[in-house]
Structure formats: C-alpha cells, structure tokens
Structure 1
Amino acid sequence: MTEPDLLKILLQDIAEADSATRMVAAVERLAQAQLEAGVPHLITALGYNNPGAAVAAVEGLISIGQPAVEPLLELLDGYNYGARAWGLRALAGIGDPQALDLLLDAAANDFALSVRRAAARGLGTLHWDELPPASIVPAQAKVVEVLVTVSQDHEWIVRYAAITGLQELAIASTVSHPDLTRQILLRFDRLVEIDDNLAVIARIWLAQKTIQTHIHEILSQQPILEQQISILHNNSNANDWQATLEKLYARKRQSQPYPEGDPHKFREVAAAIFRGE
C-alpha cells in the first residue's frame, strides 16, 4: 500500500470516529504510521478537545521529529490555548532550536498557564548542539533570563516548570558554560528562601540534587580525579556539596584558558578544588 493510500484510510478513520475513545484510537494509528504527510492532521488533532487524542498526536509528532517542526511553527493555533500548549509540548519533545523564540515568548507572555508551563519546560530540552557554536552561550543566557522571570510567575505550576527548565539547562551547560550553571544554582538558593509553595520548594531541592549527581558523574569520568573523588565521598566535611559547587564555579579561569566548551577547563578547576587549593 502506498503512503497516500494509507494516509487516506487513516484520515477516514478519524473522520468516522463517533466517540472519544474511537477518536483516540484513530489518532494513535495515524501517529504510529509516522507519515510526514500526516503532520498537519496530527497538528489539527491537538485542538480536538480530546486529551487522549492530543497525547497521541504529540507522541506522533515527536517521533516524526524535525520534519514536524516547521509545520508546528506555522500551524500552531493562536486562538486555542489548549492546542498551543500541546503543540509546545511536541516542540519541546523534538528539541529543535528553531522553536527557541516561540518558546521564549510563550513562557514570558502567554496568558494561559498551560502554555507558559509547556514553554518553560521546553526551554530546558532544546538540542543546543544544533545551534552554531557562537550562538549557544548567548541563547542559553537568554533562556536563563526568561526562566528566572518565569520562576516568579503567580501560578505555582508554572514556577515548577521553570525550575525543571533551569535544571535541564544547568546540566546541559555544566562543562561548556559552568558560570551559567553556577548562576542557576545561586538562583535556586534564592528561590528556596522566597517561594511559599512546598511542591516548588521540593522541586528546587530535587533540581539541586540532580545537578550535584551530574557533576559527580562528570568528575568520575576523569581518571586523574578518581582518588580525590573517593576522598570527597568518604569525608563527612566534604559532603556539603553546595559549598563544593560554589568553590567549583567561583574559581577563576587560568591566564591561558582552553577554548569554550573544552572539558579540560572543568576538569582542571575541579582537580584544584579537590586538592584544597
């Protein structure tokens, strides 16, 4: 069966669906087919007022990947905030940096909390390596600026999403831009002091712990540091990981630094800290 014939059958199934359950099943079949020609129809399904169908459509769009990005950017419903939120989830799942400006605007300015929430989460999942190298740091800095603002949103669920986005960005920039990671960690310290929602505070603690684990994983991959790391884990005085991170990112770069993004930069700073310098 040719793709056009298959698409025709799948769209007929959607047109003939006479219940919410059958609609979900029909959209799932279209999503599973992973037809590029089906992308506009999956985007249409985001606005059916059927959460199950929307979830299936989002999963289908993510599985299709990059070919779905431009149609999403062009066809995203500006009047249906539910469809916008689902569309942003799809863009976040794909992670194409083409969606950066849309996500920034939606996170900062959209009136719908579901849209702001989806955009804030999506800003942390972009594939930064798909940007030109010179554009990565400025783009990440812009994302941090917006997410820091969103972390003060009046809706706790949006603040929660902003923490998730900041966590993912901190992990992504640990080696390539450690100062940005430090900035995010400092922001988390401040948010713990000022936020009054227990769910948000718990999410901040989880983000801090996740970043800590990530940093230790990076350090454990460096043979030169294995002994120092072992000492760190066995030394109760060194278990204050927040203080360790503060030292790590407060270190000044050497007079002749490595190129931006070189892992040696991170490794040498860490080694100096564990030697107690």
Structure 2
Amino acid sequence: MPQLSELTRRLQKATSPADLLAAVQELIPHSDQPEAISGLIEVLGYNNPAAAQVAVQGLIRAGRRAVPELLARLDGYNYGARAYALRVLAQIGDPQALGVLQEAARSDFAPSVRRAALRGLGMIIWSDLAQPTAAQTQVLQTLEDLSRDGEWGIRYGVIVALELWQSGDVPAFLQPRRDALLQGFTQDEDPVVQARAQFSLHRGDK
C-alpha cells in the first residue's frame, strides 16, 4: 500500500480530472490523518465537482479532526470552496463553527454558501456546549431575521434549519418562538416556501 506522502504527491501532480478523482479516492481511507485532511481541503477549491464531492465525504469522515483546519482555511474568494467547506462543517455539527455559520448565513454574497450555513445552524450538537442557552437564543434570532430575507431560497433554508433543530433540543422558553416562526412561513408569498413549511409542520405533528 502506498505511503500517505506518496498519495498526497499523486494528488498534487494530477494532470486530468480522472487522475484527480482517483487520487482523492485513495486519500479517503486516511482521512483521519492531518496530511490527508489538508489535501482534501485543498481539493474543495479545485474546479472539479466530482472530486470535491468525494473530498467532502472524506472530510465528514474525518469529523472533528478536520474542523480547526477547515475554519482556518475557509476560502474568502472561492465561494464554491466555501460552500463545500460549510457543508462539511454542517454535517459535523461542531459548535466551534457556530460563529462562522451565523456570519455566512447572514452576510455571504453566495446563496449556496448561505444555504449551507443555514443547514449547519440546524445541526449544531448543542450538548457539546457547557451552557448552550445563549448560543441557541442567538441562532434563533438569526433565523428570525433571515425569515424576512428577500431571497426565497434563504427563507426555505431557514425552514430546513428549524426542522433539523429538533424540538427536543430547543429550550422550552424558545419553543414558542420556533413554532411561531415555522407557522409564519405557511403564509409566505412563495408557494414553494409555503409548501415546505406545511410539510415540516406535518412531520412535527407525527
């Protein structure tokens, strides 16, 4: 079996999309190693969606080991790379990413990045915070603010976040605000947003 250093060299020297994809796939079994994590993050910025998708899965597999470097190397210029990175952070759910997710959801210029960030706000592992209440209140305020966003896809993303944020993880004093926010979307001007809200409420009733 090739050494990890040899696998990362193959990644760096790939000269075709097929070679790059093969090199990324070879790194996946080593995704718990810092060198592999670094290489997979680099791939997120390449213009190769197939390789980036595989890299995303490898970084999700790496879990929390990947979070510090993902946050440190978040690409401020390549919105595609940012969207992929935030998808990884969303799936991992580490509260270290909370500030980045909130900022991106509120202010990133790329809708794909904002939607990925919103999904992440619904998947935070709150039990990893010693005192989660203040952070949960802040996240709910963010979702309330974005419920009035002019982009229907962002409002849709708020609903997804609210649904992912399971009722059992919402403090009792915030539950009425969460429920009211979700109910309000059933009157949204966009029929797709309305339908998504009604679907979410129906699932919650089961």
TM over 0.5: yes
- What corresponds to 1:178 in structure 2? 172
Are residues 1:204 and 2:205 paired? no
- What corresponds to 2:15 in structure 1? 18
- What corresponds to 1:51 in structure 2? 49
Tell me by how many angstroms 1:14 deviates.
Answer: 1.9
Give the SS at the match of 1:179. coil
C-alpha RMSD over aligned residues:
1.7
Tell me by how many angstroms 1:200 deviates.
Answer: 1.6
Structure 2: where are the runs of 5+ without partners?
none
C-alpha contact 1:173 1:181 (8 A) present in aligned 2: no
Structure with greater Cα Rg:
1
Match of 1:154 among 150, 156, 163: 150
C-alpha change, 1:172 and 1:13, in structure 2 (3 Å) is: farther
Taking structure 2 as the reference length, the TM-score comes to 0.92
Structure 1 residues 29-178: aligned runs within 5 Å: 29-34=26-31, 35-132=33-130, 135-174=131-170, 177-178=171-172
C-alpha contact 1:173 1:180 (8 A) present in aligned 2: no
Q: Which whole-Å CA distance do the structure 1 matches of 2:73 and 2:90 have between them?
A: 16
C-alpha change, 1:12 and 1:116, in structure 2 (3 Å) is: same
Instruction: Report % sequence identity.
Output: 41
C-alpha contact 2:101 2:117 (8 A) present in aligned 1: yes
Q: Which whole-Å CA distance do the structure 2 matches of 1:169 and 1:55 have between them?
A: 25
Amino acid of the structure 1 residue aligned with 2:178: I
Q: Which whole-Å CA distance do the structure 2 matches of 1:43 and 1:143 have between them?
A: 27
C-alpha change, 1:170 and 1:178, in structure 2 (3 Å) is: farther
Q: Which whole-Å CA distance do the structure 1 matches of 2:117 and 2:146 have between them?
A: 10
Structure having greater relative contact order (Cα 8 Å, sep ≥ 6): 2
Taking structure 1 as the reference length, the TM-score comes to 0.69
